[in-house]
Structure 1
Amino acid sequence: MNPLTTAAVDVRRTSTHFDAIGGEPAVTRIVDAFYRHMDTRPDASDIRAMHAPDLAPVKTVLVRYLCEWLGGPKRYSDERGQPRLRMRHAAFPIGAAERDAWLSCMRAALDETGIAPALRDELMHAFLRIADWMRNTGT
């Protein structure tokens, strides 16, 4: 077997989505774009209303969560413990409209920040599973 081919395969196996998108600076750009879309899209007004006027604290939490979820540093878990997303969001009514608005904002953020289409689609598939699982109302 060609050692160069083997090395290339090993590198791909150890690469994470976190690395593929450009690390924490890219995650921060995605989160900034996500909340910018949430602030401006009429279909996101209900989920925006679930947040405090100052988004800085929630942006920090989402950056840390996404960094870890994408395979980067585990600062979210170190600081906050297990994600327990459903428990943390239980106070907010999340139905199909809220799920769809969240997903629309995230897709727009991924598009705006130039995430490669194949990776964007893979991430959106995973986000859909999580967002659908977060639903806690019948609507």
Structure 2
Amino acid sequence: MEGVNEIRRGTLQEQTFYEQVGGEETFRRLVHRFYQGVAEDPILRPMYPEEDLGPAEERMTLFMIQYWGGPTTYSEQRGHPRLRMRHAPFKVDRAAHDAWLKHMRVAVEELGLSEEHEEQLWRYLTYAAASMVNTAD
């Protein structure tokens, strides 16, 4: 029989971005490196009232994992992300936007992703940063 060993198009599930870039470990590295920058940042650090940035780091890690196609632990623990609502109590201006992207850029570059994956991730991060701005001051 001809073609018996041929895998039909569409029968294999395509890998998610999460899987393609290395799964949980990659997102934990990304977010951990980002929060190392936040810890020393005079603009961003005051937005984190918790003494320890660990809980915020874990929340962001779980969100990123879920967003990019990994387990849905974030929603199971916290419900719908509602990112703008969750950031509303904080004054997020252009300076905060720029500081956030500065630390995220360092974190993304240190991952050593393929150019295509890095560009895809960066497009989302720049969009997300812009969408969190809630004040012109």
TM-score in same-fold range (> 0.5): yes
1:50 to 39, 43, 47: 47
Which structure carries more helix by proportion? 1
- Unaligned runs of 5+ residues in structure 1 are none
User: Over aligned residues, Cα RMSD in angstroms?
Assistant: 2.0
1 CA distance for matches of 2:114 and 2:60?
21
2 CA distance for matches of 1:117 and 1:37?
23
2 CA distance for matches of 1:117 and 1:107?
14
2 CA distance for matches of 1:105 and 1:72?
23
2 CA distance for matches of 1:131 and 1:80?
21
Partner of 1:121: 119
Normalised to the residue count of structure 2, the TM-score between the two structures is 0.86
Identity of aligned residues (%): 34
Amino acid corresponding to residue 65 of structure 1 in structure 2: F
Amino acid corresponding to residue 46 of structure 2 in structure 1: A
Greater shift, 96-105 or 82-91, is seen at: 96-105
Residue 18 of structure 2 is aligned to residue 14 of structure 1: no
Q: Within 5 Å, which residues of 2 pair with 1:1-139?
A: 3=6, 14-40=14-40, 44-51=41-48, 52-139=50-137
Deviation at 1:37, TM superposition (A): 1.9
DSSP 3-state at the match of 1:22? coil
Please tell me whether Structure 1 or Structure 2 has the larger radius of gyration of its CA atoms. Answer: 2
2 CA distance for matches of 1:114 and 1:53?
31
2 CA distance for matches of 1:113 and 1:37?
15
Amino acid corresponding to residue 115 of structure 1 in structure 2: L
Contact map agreement 2:66 2:74 (CA 8 A) in 1:
yes
- Unaligned runs of 5+ residues in structure 2 are none
After superposition, what is the alpha-carbon deviation per residue over 1:15-59, rounded to whole angstroms, capped at 9, x for unaligned? 11111221111111111111112234xxx4211221123011111
2 CA distance for matches of 1:36 and 1:136?
24
- The alignment covers a number of residue pairs equal to 133
The runs of at least 4 aligned residues of structure 1 exceeding 6 Å deviation read none
2 CA distance for matches of 1:45 and 1:71?
33
1 CA distance for matches of 2:75 and 2:121?
20
